[in-house]
Structure 1
Amino acid sequence: MSTTQSRVLMKLSSVSGLTCPVADLDRTVAFYESLGFRVGKRDDAQATCYVNWFWITFTATDGGPVPTPSGPAVHIKVEDLQAAHQSLIDAGHTPASEPVKRPGGGTQFSLLDPDGYELVLFFKK
């Protein structure tokens, strides 16, 4: 098989969620709750937060180091980007950027969570 050919090994249904290590589970859960995520299953070692069907499970590192995030950002669509930006500021959060135009259309801004994971809030018609 050449590098230009691909073979589907399975039929994928959807991407459902992510798992991220965090330094302070309580702080992280409070941060995501303040954004509107719903907290689902939780114990001393992990907590899962949901938006609709998408989930992020946060796992406590028990005092160990949290890897510096350098991976993908989580993109979250909002209905009113300017209102979302202002409501985060009003709630005491500091967005990492001002709203800017997206290369593919629409607008976006970034917000870092307590462990440095990037959330990109965006609006596109």
Structure 2
Amino acid sequence: MPVSGFDHVAMPTADCERFIAFYESLGFTIIDRDKWRKGKAKIFALQVGPNNKINIHPPDKKGHLRGKGAAIGCGDLCFVWDGAVEEVLAMLKRAGVAPVDGPVPRPGGRKGGTVTGTSVYIFDPDGNLIEFMVYPK
């Protein structure tokens, strides 16, 4: 199969500035934030690792392609945390975000789902389920 991975995924938000503030508080870099604020970009994105991003669609739905059924709060995203579970919990505490579940063991995507990691779950301001997975070193 010639597909080698993900480049990006996309999801909508109800409130762009609230979204930006929340994800910046978790340490994410926002791509094209300033261009979007100046009206020079139709969307902005979260940087995820060196080669991936999540495109964020503003609520107006104008000027860009999006899935026909894209709904605010429909996301279920898992980010790999390169560190200890205690560091995830400390970062969330600093950001004022309470976990809704975890730390709990979960099968991840590595090696065809055969590697178990430890997951911590939160909800973002739009109601998307966000998971931070820590794999054993």
Q: TM-score interval w.r.t. the shorter chain?
A: 0.7 to 0.9
**In the TM superposition, what is the alpha-carbon distance from 1:21 to its structure 2 partner?**
0.9
The answer to whether the Cα contact below 8 Å between 1:21 and 1:58 also exists between their aligned partners in 2 is yes
The runs of 4+ residues in structure 1 deviating greater than 4 Å are none
Structure-2 residue corresponding to 1:46? 43
| Larger CA Rg, structure 1 vs 2 | 1
SS at structure 1 position matched to 2:4 = coil
CA deviation string 1:35-77 (max 9, x = no partner): 22111113154211102222111111139xx825445x22111
1:100 counterpart (94, 100, 104):
104
Q: Which protein is richer in helix relative to its size?
A: 2
Q: Please give the secondary structure, in 2, of the residue aligned with 1:29.
A: helix
Asked if the contact 1:25–1:46 (Cα under 8 Å) also holds between the matched residues in 2, the reply is no
Partner residue of 1:57?
55
User: How far apart are the structure 2 equivalents of 1:84 and 1:58?
Assistant: 23
- Give the structure 2 partner of residue 13 of structure 1: 4
For residue 17 of structure 2, what is the aligned residue in structure 1? Answer: 26
Give the residue type in structure 1 aligned to 2:77.
V
TM-score with structure 2 length normalisation?
0.71
Say if 1:75 and 1:120, in contact at 8 Å, map to a contact too: yes
Give the unaligned 5+ runs of structure 2: 62-69, 108-114
Work out whether 1:75 is the aligned partner of 2:110: no
- For this pair of structures, how many residues does the alignment match? 113
TM-score (norm 1): 0.77
Gaps spanning 5+ residues in structure 1: where?
1-7
1:102 aligned counterpart, secondary structure = strand
Report sequence identity in percent: 28
